[in-house]
Structure 1
Amino acid sequence: MIRILLQAIAACALLAGCAASQTAVVASDGAVPAQNAREPVTLLISIDGFRPDYLDRGITPHLSALATSGVVADMRSSFPTKTFPNHWTLVTGKRPDNHGIVGNSMEDVARPGEKFTMANKDPFWWNQAEPIWITAEKQGVRTATMFWPGSEVELDGTRPSDWWPFSQALSNDRRVNAVVDWMRRPAATRPQLVTLYFDSVDTAGHFFGPAPSEKLHAAISAVDKNIGTLIEQFAALDQPVNFVITSDHGMAETHPDRVIYLDTILPRDQYRLVVDGNYAGIEPLADDMTTISSAFLKPHENMECWKREDIPARFQYGKNPRVPSIICLPTTGWVVYQDKPEWMTGIGGGHGYDHLHPDMIAFFLASGPGFVGDIKIETFDNVDIYSLLAHLIGVKPNQSDGDLSSFEQALKP
């Protein structure tokens, strides 16, 4: 009798379980969703130095396919149009004046005799703004960075859950493989926000210029192939992904015949040079502004100079004390040096110029379950990317210089 009763209970339990299972997998419209559906992840990709018109050259089939399924736009960089200031803007939503990374090279009166370079990971230089991965980690959202300026720095005792120290020697293929490996993890340790950085297009642009050429196009095509690998591997894992693909700035053609030599303006032993190249930053010796002001603030052919406090408002630059006392901005395509670099022997490329110049406009593409398809939105400022990322990963953003309004037409309800 007991055996019969136990068999009856087991049979009822089995039938109930089957009924519950059927109820769970059949939706109201009759569709049967996957049993282990993954939540979308957000992948922020920087293709350093990628101009919007590179997408129009017929050599980017994977990026072009994403553009058809998603959203494209021209994006205004922040001044100065350099790598570190703009990458920090993209992930903090603040302009260089407000986030403190005012150049690839800079000084701070609180650290006399010290100069910030792109290898510096001291939190002192980075802690004027909080990047999206720190904000996310504080709110319980796991992040991972396969390179990004500042991603190796510990801020408020926090780093991304996974991060790699930057090495230009690490191939783009290996960078992609690391991102895919993160996606193979179980949900509990799988990052919801990932950054990925490609520098090879920028390097080619510097050496060969932005005009069509075999070597530049080879670099562009190689990165497009990397994007294709990501698309294929994410699909194989049934991993939905919101791609947010940007560049930090554009690229302008330079030539060794378009050089402004600083020694023709003032002997180099009468000032301190903070930065030169596509713009120059000048500091006085012994706080004597008279000498450098009389030399640099007068009219110059193909270059204009301002005191920090007199930089035109449209640049939104000059409030931060890390900005050099005098900024000199050449005409786009010209460069300013004490000594012309040895590598500058022919047509090349550069950036750092006026952020509103067409050659300095950056690239934006977004595609995935969070976006509508096949539209181009109005040109926007790169400070808005931070708000977009926060929206996609569901975190409350910190106060920033941008907002989400630029993407109203681009986002699905």
Structure 2
Amino acid sequence: MSRALIVCLTLLLAACATSRGPQPDIGRPLTVLISIDGFRTDYLSRGDTPTLSALAAEGATGSMRPSYPSVTFPNHYTLVTGRHPDHHGIVGNSFIDPVLGRFTMANKEPRFWDQAEPIWITAEKAGLTTATMFWPGSETELQGERPTYWAPFDQAVTGDQRVDRLLGWLDATPRPDLSTLYFDTVDTVGHSFGPDTPEVDRALTDVDASVARLIAGLQARGLWERTHLIVVSDHGMAQTSPERVTHLDDLVDPAFVQIIYSGSAVFLEPTAGREDEVRRALVRRHAHGECWTRETIPARFVLGTNPRVPSIVCAADVGWLFVPRTRTVTRVGGAHGYDNAAPEMQALFIAHGPDIARGVTLRDMDSVDVQPLLGRLLGIEVPPGDGRAEDGLAAMSR
């Protein structure tokens, strides 16, 4: 996002870039960051989300470019750290750290997460109170800090139950200054059925109703008029099919590689002694995708300097999958992880509240821009990230 757009977003009636100690609860603004996993930006125009559409019309909105790879854990950490995955260390939903070993989405080991500081840790260190409802990374203690209120992820907890848990935290003392809320059903249904299906429409309606429930709860507590609501997604969704599959076994001998993960993006390591053969077989343009060495990944992906990035990364064309024959694709569905510039991967961004400009349509929004915006709304200094430089700080202040 351009620096002018940040100025346009934050009217700075109450926000200033100075850290502060604990303040009385009465009259303090509230910032709520909501993620709707897999909410493709054009879903907003389907007519299934009247609450979200009203927030967008009354505030600032636009398509948001995710980081690459456009998958859940890297992008959720980008949203709260302001850094691309190559710089915050969560480079995929699964990867191998040279020292720590394999990372999976269930891993709470702090050393996997400590290459960057999420906004809730920054806020707690500044004397604010935070609450995180299922945000990736929020279950891990970093720098001796945790959110004041948090919960371990449980997919069985419904959207309305998540809202009610958050509202309960807002009734507690101290009341959170920053809260996060995560919904996964749009992504889950999109994977199972594909993006352009009645099932996704119903999931959109359900999550919109949960957001409406949150707003009603804020209104009942007299908090709505001083709440900044930032609604984002981590990536979009593309249609897949069993007819659009490239088998990795047809490109390289499976005995020559360790596949870390596969699908829309592939992370793999050559078997010791087979490096040259694997590079010759894979590193080129293929019929429905392309593979690079870590050193030759296109610069626009901002990926390749972190040692957690594997030796070879492949990107399938949108709608195609790169998988081994041991992974059978039998049904039409949806996937993400593709080129972060692809229209199908563009994510949702909505900002609404007293310090947000009204009726603004954003251009060139990037997910690394969300963390500095949150810092401005909270009135705290945030660690430098990829979303702004020192001249950007000056442009944001008046």
The TM-score normalised by the length of structure 2 is: 0.89
Code of the residue aligned with 2:212 in structure 1: it is G
The question of whether the paired residues in 1 share the 8 Å contact of 2:256 and 2:274 is answered with no
Q: Distance in 1 between matches of 2:236 and 2:397?
A: 29
Match of 1:252 among 238, 244, 248: 238
| Residue in 2 that maps onto 1:57 | 46
Please report how far the alpha carbon of residue 412 of structure 1 lies from its aligned counterpart in structure 2 after TM superposition: 12
Please report how far the alpha carbon of residue 298 of structure 1 lies from its aligned counterpart in structure 2 after TM superposition: 4.0
Please report how far the alpha carbon of residue 407 of structure 1 lies from its aligned counterpart in structure 2 after TM superposition: 12
- Structure 1's consecutive aligned runs of 4 or more residues displaced over 2 angstroms after TM superposition are 339-342, 344-347, 403-409
Secondary structure at 1:269 match in 2? helix
Please report how far the alpha carbon of residue 115 of structure 1 lies from its aligned counterpart in structure 2 after TM superposition: 1.4
Q: Distance in 2 between matches of 1:353 and 1:265?
A: 20
Please report how far the alpha carbon of residue 364 of structure 1 lies from its aligned counterpart in structure 2 after TM superposition: 0.1
| Residue in 2 that maps onto 1:155 | 142
Match of 1:234 among 204, 218, 242: 218
Code of the residue aligned with 1:196 in structure 2: it is L
| Residue in 1 that maps onto 2:21 | none
Secondary structure at 2:189 match in 1? helix
Aligned pairs for 1:392-411 within 5 A: 392-403=377-388
Q: Distance in 2 between matches of 1:351 and 1:261?
A: 18
Please report how far the alpha carbon of residue 340 of structure 1 lies from its aligned counterpart in structure 2 after TM superposition: 6.3
Code of the residue aligned with 1:89 in structure 2: it is T
Match of 1:281 among 255, 263, 267: 267
User: Do residues 69 (structure 1) and 74 (structure 2) align?
Assistant: no
Please report how far the alpha carbon of residue 371 of structure 1 lies from its aligned counterpart in structure 2 after TM superposition: 0.9
Go from structure 1 to structure 2 and tell me whether the alpha carbon gap of 1:70 and 1:287 turns closer, same or farther (over 3 Å shift): farther
Secondary structure at 2:300 match in 1? helix
| Residue in 2 that maps onto 1:268 | 254
| Residue in 2 that maps onto 1:331 | 317
Go from structure 1 to structure 2 and tell me whether the alpha carbon gap of 1:77 and 1:352 turns closer, same or farther (over 3 Å shift): same
Code of the residue aligned with 2:280 in structure 1: it is S
Go from structure 1 to structure 2 and tell me whether the alpha carbon gap of 1:162 and 1:59 turns closer, same or farther (over 3 Å shift): same
| Residue in 1 that maps onto 2:104 | 117
| Residue in 2 that maps onto 1:24 | none
Deviates more, 1:332-341 or 1:66-75: 332-341
Go from structure 1 to structure 2 and tell me whether the alpha carbon gap of 1:44 and 1:161 turns closer, same or farther (over 3 Å shift): same
Note the aligned Cα RMSD (angstroms).
2.0
Please report how far the alpha carbon of residue 406 of structure 1 lies from its aligned counterpart in structure 2 after TM superposition: 9.2
Q: Distance in 1 between matches of 2:327 and 2:220?
A: 47
Aligned pairs for 1:118-137 within 5 A: 118-137=105-124
Which structure has more relative contact order (CA 8 Å, sep 6+)? It is: 2
The question of whether the paired residues in 1 share the 8 Å contact of 2:284 and 2:292 is answered with no
The question of whether the paired residues in 2 share the 8 Å contact of 1:245 and 1:366 is answered with yes
1:308-360 deviation digits (Å, cap 9, x = unpaired): 00111111111111111011111111001113645x43321101110011111
Secondary structure at 1:392 match in 2? helix
Provide structure 2 residue ranges, at least 5 long, that are not aligned to the other structure. 1-24
Q: Distance in 1 between matches of 2:132 and 2:358?
A: 27
1:80-117 deviation digits (Å, cap 9, x = unpaired): 00100000000000000100000001001113xx3111
Q: Distance in 2 between matches of 1:412 and 1:155?
A: 30
The question of whether the paired residues in 2 share the 8 Å contact of 1:46 and 1:197 is answered with yes
The question of whether the paired residues in 2 share the 8 Å contact of 1:378 and 1:406 is answered with no
| Residue in 1 that maps onto 2:176 | 191
Q: Distance in 1 between matches of 2:305 and 2:220?
A: 49
Match of 2:163 among 173, 176, 199: 176
Go from structure 1 to structure 2 and tell me whether the alpha carbon gap of 1:161 and 1:174 turns closer, same or farther (over 3 Å shift): same
The question of whether the paired residues in 2 share the 8 Å contact of 1:371 and 1:412 is answered with no
Go from structure 1 to structure 2 and tell me whether the alpha carbon gap of 1:87 and 1:346 turns closer, same or farther (over 3 Å shift): same
| Residue in 2 that maps onto 1:48 | 37
Code of the residue aligned with 2:313 in structure 1: it is I
Secondary structure at 1:339 match in 2? coil
| Residue in 2 that maps onto 1:88 | 77
The question of whether the paired residues in 2 share the 8 Å contact of 1:372 and 1:412 is answered with no
Secondary structure at 2:291 match in 1? strand
1:207-250 deviation digits (Å, cap 9, x = unpaired): 11111x22111100000000101111101100121000000001
The question of whether the paired residues in 2 share the 8 Å contact of 1:380 and 1:406 is answered with no
Code of the residue aligned with 1:167 in structure 2: it is D
The question of whether the paired residues in 2 share the 8 Å contact of 1:84 and 1:104 is answered with yes
Q: Distance in 1 between matches of 2:81 and 2:93?
A: 17
Please report how far the alpha carbon of residue 169 of structure 1 lies from its aligned counterpart in structure 2 after TM superposition: 1.1
| Residue in 1 that maps onto 2:332 | 347
| Residue in 2 that maps onto 1:208 | 193
Please report how far the alpha carbon of residue 408 of structure 1 lies from its aligned counterpart in structure 2 after TM superposition: 11
| Residue in 2 that maps onto 1:317 | 303
Q: Distance in 2 between matches of 1:46 and 1:255?
A: 27
Q: Distance in 1 between matches of 2:26 and 2:306?
A: 47
Provide structure 1 residue ranges, at least 5 long, that are not aligned to the other structure. 1-35
Secondary structure at 2:330 match in 1? coil
Deviates more, 1:369-378 or 1:390-399: 369-378
User: Do residues 107 (structure 1) and 107 (structure 2) align?
Assistant: no
Code of the residue aligned with 1:45 in structure 2: it is I
Please report how far the alpha carbon of residue 403 of structure 1 lies from its aligned counterpart in structure 2 after TM superposition: 2.7
The question of whether the paired residues in 1 share the 8 Å contact of 2:84 and 2:368 is answered with yes
Code of the residue aligned with 2:53 in structure 1: it is S
Structure with max Cα Rg: 1
Go from structure 1 to structure 2 and tell me whether the alpha carbon gap of 1:170 and 1:379 turns closer, same or farther (over 3 Å shift): same
Please report how far the alpha carbon of residue 394 of structure 1 lies from its aligned counterpart in structure 2 after TM superposition: 1.1
Q: Distance in 1 between matches of 2:325 and 2:107?
A: 25
Kindly, what percent of the aligned residue pairs are identical?
47
